[in-house]
Amino acid sequence: MPSLQPHGAKLANLRRALGLTQLELAVRSGVSERTIRNAERGNPLKRSFLEFIAGGLGVPVTEIIIPCAEVDLHLRWKRHVERLTAGLKRVAEQHDSSDLYDLAHRDITMQIETHLPNFSAGAILRGEYRGIEGVQQFVENGYRFWEVCGDGDYYVEAPTGGGDVVVMRGGQQVRLDDGRQQWMQFLYVFQFEQERLLRMDEYLAPGHGRPAATPLILSSDQAQECGFERVAGGISDPEQMSRSHC
pLDDT tens-place string over residues 78-111? 899 999 888 877 876 777 888 888 999 999 999 9
In this prediction, residue 162 has a pLDDT band, given cuts at 50, 70 and 90, of confident
Stretch (H or E) spanning 100: helix 98-103
pLDDT at 37 over 90: yes
pLDDT at 234 over 50: no
> What is the structure's pLDDT at 221?
64
DSSP structural state of residue 211: P
Report how far Cα 118 is from the mean position of its chain's Cα atoms: 30
> What is the structure's pLDDT at 232?
37
Mean pLDDT on 215-226: 59
Mean pLDDT on 54-79: 86
Give the domain 3-66 fold.
434 Repressor (Amino-terminal Domain) (1.10.260)
pLDDT at 244 over 90: no
Q: Phi, psi (5° rounding) for residue 127?
A: 135, -170
Q: 240 or 121: whose pLDDT is higher?
A: 121
Count CB-CB contacts under 10 A for residue 182: 18
- Rounded percentage of the chain residues whose pLDDT exceeds 90: 48
> What is the structure's pLDDT at 2?
61
Question: Domain limits of the chain?
Answer: 3-66, 71-242
In this prediction, residue 222 has a pLDDT band, given cuts at 50, 70 and 90, of low
CA separation for the pair 168, 146 (Å, rounded): 18
> What is the structure's pLDDT at 230?
41
Per the CB < 8 A criterion, the answer to whether 50 and 4 are in contact is yes
Per the CB < 8 A criterion, the answer to whether 51 and 29 are in contact is no
Q: Right CATH number for 71-242 from 3.40.50.720, 3.30.70.600, 3.10.450.50, 3.30.800.10?
A: 3.10.450.50
Range with lowest mean pLDDT among 15-24, 193-202, 205-214: 205-214
One fold for both 3-66 and 71-242? no
> What is the structure's pLDDT at 149?
79
Q: 231 or 69: whose pLDDT is higher?
A: 69
Report how far Cα 29 is from the mean position of its chain's Cα atoms: 36
> What is the structure's pLDDT at 243?
34
Mean pLDDT on 114-143: 92
In this prediction, residue 229 has a pLDDT band, given cuts at 50, 70 and 90, of very low
> What is the structure's pLDDT at 107?
95
Q: What is the pTM of this model?
A: 0.64
> What is the structure's pLDDT at 242?
34
CA separation for the pair 72, 68 (Å, rounded): 6
